[in-house]
Amino acid sequence: MSSAYALELRDLRKSFGKTEIIRGANLAVTAGERVAIIGPNGAGKSTLFNLISGRFEPTSGDVLLNGQRINGKRPFEINRLGLSRSFQITNIFPKLSVFENLRCGVLWSLGYKYTPFKFLADLDDANERADQLMEMIKLDKKRDVLGINLTYAEQRALEIGITIAGGAGVILLDEPTAGMSRSETSRFINLIKEVTVGKTLLTVEHDMGVVFGLADKIAVVVYGEVIAFDTPDAVRANARVQEAYLGSAVADAQVGGGH
């Protein structure tokens, strides 16, 4: 089965007990698009990410990665097929150095698997790639600092670094700027733009300024459904979206401010 889409959700559903959290989500993301997923708290944005990345198994419906069905697969299998994600709560290797964190992220994609018969120091491609990543996320001065000893913003950058390390074509970022100050956020958004050039990017984001600055397209998730998926301008003009999510004056102000 072939498909033109990098990532496609078909009538995706997920229930926890009797509560249906994702209620028939549909989405089709073309390769190379940057998509921001927005929606009110509890709309199911993070759950959607968890379903796509294999953390949860969908109750019904399909997730397709480059046309291949991936629902029900384990996270590492999905990762090997070219999808990588970051986490809302920083999820790094705290007792490994920045360099080691990144190197762990690249090992599988370079085919080293579980080998105990090669020395890490001899893996020139992995080491070069880890160094390259370290420069990209601007942590090259912190090479030997343990993950746990980094500042919060640095940890967030490392989180992104590990996510892109394996060279996956589809990147999911779950609230990458959560907990950052305004100035940190704008710097960080530029960083994300730089490191995801040419990749398909999905990001959950609350900051409307960020959303309209970063995304080619916006998907609006409300009560477990994607109620709109279009360009930022079209989404802003969408009556259903305005009613469900952007209707308030506060939201309007946020949209205006970010423009």
Partner 1 sequence: MSARHYEFKPYNIGRWLVWSLFALVLLVAPVVFTSSLSHTMLSQMGIAIIVCLAYNMLLGQGGMLSFGHAVYSGMGSFLAIHTLNAVGKGAFDLPVSLIPLVGGMAGLAFALLLGWVTTKKAATPFAMITLGVGELVWAMSLMFPEFFGGEGGISGNRVTGSKPFGITFGPQIQLYYLIAVYTFVCTALMFAFTRTPLGRILNAVRDNPERVEFVGYDTQKVRFFAFCISGFFAGISGGLGALNFEIVTSEVVGAARSGAYLLFVFLGGATFFFGPILGAILMVLAFVLLSELTKAWLLYLGLVFLFMVMYAPGGIASLIMMNLRVAAFGRLRTLWVSYLGLGLTFLVVLLGAGAMIEMTYHLQINAAMGDQVKYLGIPLHARGLNSWFGSLFVVLTGFGLFELMRRQFAIQWGEIQTEIEKEIKRRETA
Interface with partner 1 (CB under 8 A): 53, 74-76, 79-80, 84-85, 87, 91-96, 100, 103-105, 107-109, 112-121, 123-124, 127-128, 131, 147, 162, 165-166
Give the nearer residue to partner 1 in terms of CB position, either 196 or 254.
196
* Residue 246 tokens, joined: 């952007």
State in angstroms the smallest separation of the CB of 202 from partner 1: 15
At 222, the amino acid letter reads: V
Question: Do 198 and 32 meet the contact criterion of CB atoms below 8 Å apart?
Answer: yes
d(CA 189, CA 12) in angstroms, rounded, equals 29
Q: Which long-range contacts (CB under 8 A, 24 or more apart) does 97-100 make?
A: 97/143, 97/144, 97/145, 97/146, 97/147, 98/134, 98/139, 98/142, 98/143, 98/144, 98/145, 98/147, 98/150, 98/158, 99/130, 99/131, 99/134, 99/143, 99/144
State in angstroms the smallest separation of the CB of 34 from partner 1: 21
Give the nearer residue to partner 1 in terms of CB position, either 106 or 246.
106
Give the nearer residue to partner 1 in terms of CB position, either 125 or 243.
125
State in angstroms the smallest separation of the CB of 254 from partner 1: 31
State in angstroms the smallest separation of the CB of 163 from partner 1: 8
State in angstroms the smallest separation of the CB of 210 from partner 1: 23
Give the nearer residue to partner 1 in terms of CB position, either 128 or 233.
128
Question: Do 66 and 82 meet the contact criterion of CB atoms below 8 Å apart?
Answer: yes
Give the nearer residue to partner 1 in terms of CB position, either 96 or 178.
96
